[in-house]
Structure 1
């Protein structure tokens, strides 16, 4: 025996295995980022630079493992049951964030608008909790579990503002593809919003990220260059007067900063 196998060189197999794992992570991340809208196999292939055959094969394997599920009504792909089950083991990692849920509930109750709790994960922000407001007119820009680039949305900008200016620019450049996908939004605009929020971590966005929607967000106090959470509200711009905005700002400061 010469010790050879039909499996190829060990280094090549290792690299191929790593690439497959990274592709799986990308597919799950992309699907999660679409929230309730879901994703399609074609969109996954196009966004991740995969052939349709490769995307179809990987999606099928992820569905078989219940990491993805296909909606029987609209055919869209969404995060599967196993991801939720595995996530239960990571609850302790966001325990501090879960402790902020009463704060988010209070913001929604006092303002009447839907309120959100966002957590930073690397260069992304993830919605980990949402409290419904009583207002008849609502805006739902993000769903619980949905992941977006840090700086995309008022909560993301609020967390981005905690970084040094050079780091803000680096993060925005690293995620430029996400910002370029929003009509009229530029890297320069995101950086400007983050810099304007640096004094107090407060961000007000008038339709910067979603047409007709105003968002107001506040950074949860943190160490320099280590943002962890932000609390935000979103509402149809037509339903918010200047006086309403001032009231929301006061409520956020009262509940988040205990001022």
Structure 2
């Protein structure tokens, strides 16, 4: 294979991944060819050719009379396979079920993905709780919500500040996270060992989360609970934090820092 052919192949792969990311961000309604072309900067012919190839491989599917693209069924298969083995999600599944049974609350497992916090698993309570990430696979910028605060607050200070700077524009829609307020939240979280939102971000919905730190890999995620804010009082907070920390303390030593499934979370 010539050097130019190799470069073209890498460029094509980069474009395909970029389009998959854009379609994923569009949600269940999907995205049109025009919207994807504008967002990606690709010309219509190139964009259409790559999208159709992804459809042929079942990585995308056409909806709404073939006018929109959304994620395909094969990605569900890939996701299921990725969740198997000794990865973070599988390690914590029994803990999620235990916590839901013990408290009756919605329990969420978050993982770091560069400057974001991604929900990789959740066990819902009897009542559907509105959350910042929505369903499994949803992501928020680090700094938004207790799950991401519990990650960001325990990173290296220099790395933490770099992430905050990169995410600043994405956090502008949240006045509760203005620079000084976010700095105070990060300091408070680091000092007390857990993050808490009494219902400031989503009125009526509170959340508590603790960091998941792996020896040799640092903080890779968080374990938390979401519940109705009127339930939050000092006794409940103390109990929920203790339960979350107990589960993390038992599971984190079992996670290998060499596990390739953790690399996206570093």
Using the size of structure 1 for normalisation, the TM-score is 0.74
- In the alignment, structure 1 residue 130 sits paired with structure 2 residue 149: no
> Structure 1 residues 241, 206: CA separation in 2 closer, same or farther (over 3 Å shift)?
closer
| Corresponding residue for residue 75 of structure 2 | 83
Distance of 1:165 and 1:225 partners within structure 2:
16
Q: Name which of 155, 159, 184 aligns with 2:151.
A: 159
Distance of 2:26 and 2:210 partners within structure 1:
24
Counterpart contact for 2:84–2:90, Cα < 8 Å: no
Residue 51 of structure 1: CA displacement? 5.5
Where do 5+ consecutive residues of structure 2 fail to align? 251-266
The secondary structure found in structure 2 opposite 1:133 is coil
Which whole-Å deviations, capped at 9, do the CAs of 1:138-184 have from their partners, x for residues lacking one?
Answer: 2243211233333333222211122111110112223344324x442
> Structure 1 residues 154, 90: CA separation in 2 closer, same or farther (over 3 Å shift)?
same
Distance of 1:189 and 1:212 partners within structure 2:
20
Distance of 1:92 and 1:247 partners within structure 2:
31
Q: Name which of 228, 231, 242 aligns with 1:240.
A: 231
Aligned residue-pair number:
245
More divergent stretch after superposition (26-35 vs 169-178)? 26-35
Where do 5+ consecutive residues of structure 1 fail to align? 1-8
Q: Name which of 32, 37, 40 aligns with 2:31.
A: 40
The secondary structure found in structure 2 opposite 1:27 is helix
Distance of 2:107 and 2:68 partners within structure 1:
27
Q: Pairwise CA RMSD of aligned residues?
A: 3.5
> Structure 1 residues 137, 64: CA separation in 2 closer, same or farther (over 3 Å shift)?
closer
- Pairs within 5 Å for 1:46-195: 46-50=38-42, 55-71=47-63, 77-91=69-83, 95-134=87-126, 136=127, 138-141=129-132, 142-180=134-172, 182-184=173-175, 185-186=177-178, 189-195=181-187
> Structure 1 residues 76, 152: CA separation in 2 closer, same or farther (over 3 Å shift)?
farther
| Corresponding residue for residue 248 of structure 2 | 256
> Structure 1 residues 77, 212: CA separation in 2 closer, same or farther (over 3 Å shift)?
farther
The secondary structure found in structure 1 opposite 2:78 is helix
The secondary structure found in structure 1 opposite 2:154 is coil
The secondary structure found in structure 2 opposite 1:175 is helix
| Corresponding residue for residue 3 of structure 1 | none
More divergent stretch after superposition (101-110 vs 81-90)? 81-90
- Pairs within 5 Å for 1:203-214: 203-207=195-199, 209-214=201-206
Using the size of structure 2 for normalisation, the TM-score is 0.73
The secondary structure found in structure 2 opposite 1:128 is strand
